[in-house]
Amino acid sequence: DAGVIQSPRHEVTEMGQEVTLRCKPISGHDYLFWYRQTMMRGLELLIYFNNNVPIDDSGMPEDRFSAKMPNASFSTLKIQPSEPRDSAVYFCASSFGRHQPQHFGDGTRLSIL
Amino acid sequence: QKEVEQDPGPLSVPEGAIVSLNCTYSNSAFQYFMWYRQYSRKGPELLMYTYSSGNKEDGRFTAQVDKSSKYISLFIRDSQPSDSATYLCAMTYQGGKLIFGQGTELSVKP
């Protein structure tokens, strides 16, 4: 059974560019979560969806960040314009049920120069 | 004060040792408790999931929850070099977000 799939695995881009991160959740899961991991702040929840609908985006740091889930098998996290402080590892996770175990992808390592 | 506190380590033990990893928390509403293992350059992988208080065992791993002390533990028996990773505790409550500890880096030396 395929796990959560994220792309790209690595992204290096210059400040001011648009960055799009992609996620395919596990089939049948109804919750999708986007996290950011840094050494300083650890794992932080950015936004989560239930049945493709955004439920809580209070963790999104600024208006430069946006996330969409056009269907049950695909989600994007977009940063526009990107800044060096956005450099981090971004994880997508999915679960079947709000408080059931979340399954994580292997992340996108983002570096903004 | 952070909602969840976890000693970042690093923790280094010889192969075969018993490892104890711990987290404390401040929010008494937490009722779902998890331990994740994260290898370098990989995503967190769920190890243990418990609801409310008590112990849960799975092979060499035992998770313990003490809600009266707001303290959770993960014990690893007969530790192996393949157990070398960062271990993250996580917890939540009905309607709440999953809150992670900072992670403890564990190294098991052959």
Give B74-95 pLDDT, tens digit per residue.
999 999 999 999 999 999 988 8
* B98·A91 Cβ contact <8 A: no
* A104·B88 Cβ contact <8 A: no
Q: What pLDDT does residue A91 have?
A: 98
Of all residues in chain B, the percent with pLDDT exceeding 70 is 100
Task: Give the number of other CB atoms < 10 A from CB of residue B61.
Answer: 17
Measured between alpha carbons, how far is residue B54 from residues B5, B36, B48, B78 in Å? 20, 18, 13, 22
* A101·B46 Cβ contact <8 A: yes
CA distance A18 to A64: 10
Average pLDDT taken over every residue of chain B = 93
Q: What pLDDT does residue B9 have?
A: 81
Chain B partners within 8 Å of A104 (Cβ): 36, 43-45
Question: Shortest CB distance from A45 goes to which of B43, B44, B97?
Answer: B97
CA distance A66 to A71: 16
Closest chain B C-alpha to A106 CA, distance in angstroms = 4
Chain A partners within 8 Å of B36 (Cβ): 104
B52 pLDDT higher than 90:
no
Q: What pLDDT does residue B1 have?
A: 73
**Which of B29, B30, B60 lies closest to B47 in space, CA to CA?**
B60
Q: What pLDDT does residue B38 have?
A: 97
Summarize the confidence of residues B35-50 as an average pLDDT. Answer: 95
Q: What pLDDT does residue B17 have?
A: 97
Which segments in chain A show pLDDT lower than 50? Answer: none
Taking any CB pair shorter than 8 Å as contact, residues of chain B touching chain A are 32, 34, 36, 41-46, 49, 88, 92, 94-95, 97-98, 100-103
Chain A partners within 8 Å of B44 (Cβ): 43, 91, 104
